[in-house]
Amino acid sequence: MKEKTKRIYKGFGSTCVHSQVDLHKAVNTHTEAIYPTSTFAYDDANELMQIFKGEREGYIYGRWHNPTVEMAEKKIAALEAWNLKNEKGEQLELASKVFSSGMGAISALFLACLKPGDKVITQGTLYGGTNALLHQILEPINIVPVIIELKNLSLVEDCLKKDSSIKMIYIETPSNPTMDCYDIEALNSLAKKYQCICAVDNTFATPYLQQPFQYDVDFVLHSTTKYLNGHGTAIGGVLLGKDISFFNKRIIPVLKLIGANGNPFDAWTLIQGMKTLELRMERHCLNTMKVAEYLQGHSEIAHVNYCGFKSHPDFALIKKQMKNYTGMLSFELKGGLNAGIEMMNNISFCTLAVSLGTADTIIQHPASMSHLPVPKEERLKFGITDGLIRLSVGIENADDIIADLEQALAKN
């Protein structure tokens, strides 16, 4: 079996399929092996001692590392670094750790990089769980979120200038569920100017459409539950870092000690999912364009938030930092809250659920579902109106998705 693990491929799709096929091939399996083991056994005490001391490579305990999980980590690192060079002009190498969930990865990032007294600047249109983590878990231990409009770069700079306790800029772009986009390059430059860490949640875009490390950010994270897995078979997260020694010293101990490690079976489903990432994203994007165009002209719909419309307020930025417009959109029903609930009850082909990025089309109504706990005046500030519907457009045939939306809207 030829050594494939270190190869660099010309194409993103080839990297999806071939990178890090199997680190530990004992027999000639075609696909990667699952190593369902809690610990790793040795005959020789010296060998284990040397591994503990870091003098030789090897596995010790399943909460710390696992070969199947490592294969997933290496594949995601290869995708986020695809076609990117380091300052010496060599292929960029990234540190990468898989977590039990996207929230596990985000928690480890904050806990490893911030201490009581530190602040983190971020946007209002943030995934609800991240927002709740900041307010409910971190703020009580004096790690304080500063929520501002990240599109207003002079406001961001003013805050950084005035407050040296701000240690991180945390960006989610495109954002959930309004599809607002933020300038990764400009925000990272401000972060660097004021000695801050810059981290990007790349869940909505995936490394196929957007590579934040291109702009030299410090960390990228994903809820792998979404597009990277792509089939809705497991909850998971990943955190990747550019500074490998910082990652080893700070992130990995947090992962080990909070115990938010990914497991071998979920990592295996993630590896299989990522092999088709390029193909799936192409289809998600194509279908979403068709669905967005259909919804745009509908008499029951006030407006559509979609990255691919020239009328999107961030269209110039989207063209610059993204390769395509994602499989996500949201739209506002003129009939408000009741129209939203009604539409959810009338959907039949699309799946009524609160995740995204899967092969099937998923629809949800934030005001009555994901954002129910957020006070109305808070969610309205960030465009999450009563009639807003979020759609994760799947890889089915667009005609079937549109037909379902059409029949559900006709009953409204």
DSSP category for residue 141: G
> What mask, x for binding ligand PLP by CB under 6 A, covers residues 113 to 132?
--------------x-x---
> What mask, x for binding ligand PLP by CB under 6 A, covers residues 154 to 173?
------------------x-
- In the complex with ligand PLP, the residue whose CB is nearer, 235 or 318, is 235
**Which member of 20, 68, 96, 176 binds ligand PLP (CB under 6 A)?**
176
Smallest gap from residue 31 Cβ to ligand PLP (A): 24
Q: Strands 197-201, 166-172: parallel, antiparallel or unpaired by DSSP?
A: parallel
CA 74/CA 199 separation, integer angstroms: 19
- Cβ–Cβ < 8 Å for 119, 163: yes
- In the complex with ligand PLP, the residue whose CB is nearer, 103 or 159, is 103
223 binds ligand PLP (CB under 6 A): yes
- Cβ–Cβ < 8 Å for 118, 169: no
**Which member of 235, 391, 393, 409 binds ligand PLP (CB under 6 A)?**
235
DSSP category for residue 280: H
Half-sphere exposure of 388 (CA within 13 A, CB side): 23
CA 5/CA 18 separation, integer angstroms: 8
Find the part of the chain contacting ligand PLP (CB under 6 A) among 152-160, 178-186, 199-207, 256-264: 199-207
In terms of Cβ atoms closer than 10 Å to its own Cβ (0-12, 13-18, 19+), residue 298 is: middle
Smallest Cα–Cα separation from 234: which of 201, 200, 262, 256? Answer: 262
Amino acid in the structure at residue 223: S
Q: Total residues contacting ligand PLP (rule CB under 6 A)?
A: 14
Amino acid in the structure at residue 150: L
Closest residue to ligand PLP, judged by C-beta, is 102
- In the complex with ligand PLP, the residue whose CB is nearer, 237 or 335, is 237
Smallest Cα–Cα separation from 203: which of 242, 178, 175, 231? Answer: 175
Amino acid in the structure at residue 401: I
203 binds ligand PLP (CB under 6 A): yes
Smallest gap from residue 203 Cβ to ligand PLP (A): 4
The string over 351-385, giving b where at least 16 C-beta atoms fall within 10 Å of a residue's C-beta and e elsewhere, is beeeebbbbbbbbbbbbeebbeebeeeebeebbbb
DSSP category for residue 65: -
Find the part of the chain contacting ligand PLP (CB under 6 A) among 25-33, 97-105, 146-154, 270-278: 97-105
- In the complex with ligand PLP, the residue whose CB is nearer, 223 or 358, is 223
- In the complex with ligand PLP, the residue whose CB is nearer, 68 or 326, is 326
Smallest gap from residue 154 Cβ to ligand PLP (A): 26
Find the part of the chain contacting ligand PLP (CB under 6 A) among 29-37, 198-206, 304-312, 358-366: 198-206
225 binds ligand PLP (CB under 6 A): yes
Edge-to-edge order in the sheet of strand 328-333: 301-305, 328-333, 388-392, 362-364, 351-352
Smallest gap from residue 407 Cβ to ligand PLP (A): 28
**Which member of 19, 20, 96, 101 binds ligand PLP (CB under 6 A)?**
101
Give the footprint of ligand PLP on this chain (CB under 6 A). 101-103, 127, 129, 172, 176, 201, 203-204, 223, 225, 235, 237
